[in-house]
Structure 1
Amino acid sequence: MQYLVIAYDNENALERRLESREAHIEGVKKLISEGKIINAGALIEDDVMVGSTLYINFETDDELDEWLENEPYVKNNVWNMDEFQIVPMKMLPKQ
């Protein structure tokens, strides 16, 4: 199932984001190569990074839950899980 993930950062999370960034990027690249992350990017407000967006494609809820349990931005309290959104969607096919 495909989803749009909208993940705003917690207040004062920049230091934790920077500390976790390498592990986050490594994990994203791995999941992109597996087809589980379709695309990802930063949310920007007033030229400041305030969160992340991801288009993901996980076969099961268990896979989705496993990703979240191991995602460095979740584990290191970067993303504000109270404002975290996972929206089911369907991407247009590539032509």
Structure 2
Amino acid sequence: MQYLVIAYDNDNALERRLESRAAHVEGTRKLMSDGKIINAAALVEDDVMVGSTLLVDFDTDEEIDEWLENEPYVKNNVWNMDEFQIVPIKLLPKN
């Protein structure tokens, strides 16, 4: 199932975000090559990263849970999980 993920950062999380960024990008790129993450972007306000948005395609809730358990921005308290959103979507097919 396809989802839009919207994840705003916790207050004062920029330093933790930057420390975790390389691991986050590496994991995201792997999941992109596996077809689980369709696309990802940083949310930016006043030229500062303040969150993330991702288009994902996971078959089960368990896959989503596994991703989040291993996601560096979750593990390092970057994303504010109280405001974390996972919204079911249906992307327009490429063809």
Aligned to 1:79: 79
Aligned to 1:67: 67
Give the % identical residues.
Answer: 81
Q: Quote the RMSD (CA, aligned, Å).
A: 0.6
Task: Classify the secondary structure of the residue corresponding to 1:52.
Answer: strand
Aligned to 2:6: 6
Task: Classify the secondary structure of the residue corresponding to 2:79.
Answer: coil
Extract structure 1 runs of 4+ deviating beyond 2 A.
none
Aligned to 1:36: 36
Q: Is residue 2:18 matched to residue 1:22?
A: no
- How many equivalent pairs are there? 95
Q: Is residue 2:51 matched to residue 1:54?
A: no
Amino acid at match of 2:73: Y
Deviations 1:16-46 (A, max 9, x none): 0011001000000000000000000011112
Amino acid at match of 2:36: K
Residue ranges of structure 1 left out of the alignment (5+ in a row): none
Q: TM-score, normalised by structure 1?
A: 0.98
Amino acid at match of 1:19: E
